[in-house]
Amino acid sequence: MQATQRYSKKREAILGLLRSTTEHPGAEWIYLRLKADYPDLSLATVYRNLNQFKEQGMIMSLGTVNGVERFDGNTEPHVHFICDRCSKVQDLHQLEVPTALCQSAARETGASVSQCWLTFRGECSDCKSIPHQ
Ligand SMILES: [Zn+2]
Ligand SMILES: [Zn+2]
């Protein structure tokens, strides 16, 4: 009984943290932040919960950035910029996916397109001024 309660509290904490941040974190980032409040939390538990949330459509996976899978607590379609150097993920609030783009996708696939997630990649404003080695 108590084990179940603790388990669901951790689950809520993971989801709550993910929904309250714009970091688009990976599992380890979440683990390190919750470890103080939940000393018996394991990284495996964080991974397991993230996968469950993902399967249930409660969070989105942005795929891997420099080898780390990143997650978004905001499941409304929106546009991202990902920095390939520092792994920063930004939401682009002012950029809307043009209807014409969705129509082109529908034309090419013959599908009914309901959502579009657009991701730009490159070097962020901080990184682009740093010379490459
Ligand atoms: Zn960067
Ligand atoms: Zn996002």
DSSP secondary structure string for all residues of 35-68: TTT-TT--HHHHHHHHHHHHHTTSSEEEEEETTE
pLDDT average per 10 residues of sequence, the chain (133 residues):
66 96 97 95 96 96 96 95 97 91 96 93 94 82
* Nearest bound ligand to the CA of residue 75: 2
Tell me the two tokens of residue 38: 């939940």
* Residue 54 near residue 60 (C-beta atoms within 8 A): yes
pLDDT attached to residue 1: 47
Ligand showing the shortest atom-to-Cα distance for residue 71: 2
**Angle at alpha carbon of residue 46, lines to 45 and 47, rounded to 5°:** 90
pLDDT at residue 57 in the model? 95
Q: What is the pLDDT of residue 8?
A: 87
- If you measure from the C-alpha of residue 47 to the centroid of ligand 1, how many angstroms do you get, rounded to a whole number? 25
